[in-house]
């Protein structure tokens, strides 16, 4: 959970478990499957992160981090989520998540829920690190504009680092 010691309040909208809370199964060859409130694989922090190493200031470092300009890397957490994360295969790691309602309890009919989907992967080879993520948020029917329908919000992030041991180069595009 998140706690702000100054006023003594819970963070993340007053949730006791506002950061992450999940349960799942893990297999060395098949990866991990979890259910619960999970940070997206594109968000930087989190147990199944595939992006955070691209940010030279680490996720959540105020206006200096990539989250200032790239919204998927802004510590996004989704409720009602299912996530699969691969083990490392020849330097590659993948993750995919789907949320049935990203913020709060799932409600019926399902068209009222704001859904989220993330695909992410990275590859490490010696000093080289490459990452790519793709996020889709589908607003619920209550947010639909009658003229334009209910468009999805889509975001792609591409990034990488190269470590020269003296200096480390970081590059990102969204």
Higher pLDDT, 168 or 5: 168
pLDDT of residue 77: 81
* pLDDT over threshold 70, residue 98: yes
* pLDDT over threshold 90, residue 169: yes
pLDDT of residue 63: 66
Ramachandran angles phi, psi of 173, nearest 5°:
-145, 140
pLDDT of residue 89: 95
DSSP 3-state of 63: helix
> How many Å apart are CA 77 and CA 19, to the nearest integer?
7
Tell how far CA 163 is from the center of its chain.
24
Closest of 167, 131, 134 to residue 54, by C-alpha: 131
C-alpha gyration radius of the chain: 17
pLDDT confidence of 39, banded at 50, 70, 90? confident
Over residues 134-151, the pLDDT tens digits come to: 998 887 766 555 545 556
pLDDT of residue 62: 63
pLDDT of residue 22: 82
Report the predicted TM-score, pTM, of the whole model to 2 decimal places. 0.81
Over residues 48-93, the pLDDT tens digits come to: 989 888 888 776 666 666 766 676 666 678 888 999 999 999 999 9
Mean pLDDT of 35-45: 86
């Amino acid at each position: 959970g998140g706690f702000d010691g100054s006023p003594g309040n819970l963070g993340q909208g007053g949730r006791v478990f506002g950061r992450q809370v999940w349960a799942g199964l893990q297999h060395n060859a098949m990866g991990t499957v979890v259910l619960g409130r999970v940070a997206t694989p594109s968000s930087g922090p989190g147990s199944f992160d595939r992006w955070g190493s691209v940010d030279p200031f680490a996720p959540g470092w105020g206006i200096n981090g990539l989250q200032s300009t790239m919204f998927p890397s802004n510590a996004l957490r989704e409720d009602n989520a299912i996530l699969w994360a691969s083990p490392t295969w020849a330097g590659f790691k993948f993750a995919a998540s789907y949320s049935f309602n990203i913020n709060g309890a799932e409600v019926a009919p399902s068209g009222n829920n704001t859904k989220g989907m993330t695909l992410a992967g990275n590859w490490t080879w010696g000093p080289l690190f490459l990452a790519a993520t793709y996020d889709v948020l589908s607003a619920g029917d209550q947010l639909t504009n009658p003229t334009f329908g209910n468009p999805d919000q889509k975001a792609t992030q591409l990034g990488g680092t190269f470590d020269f041991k003296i200096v480390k180069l970081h590059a990102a595009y969204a």
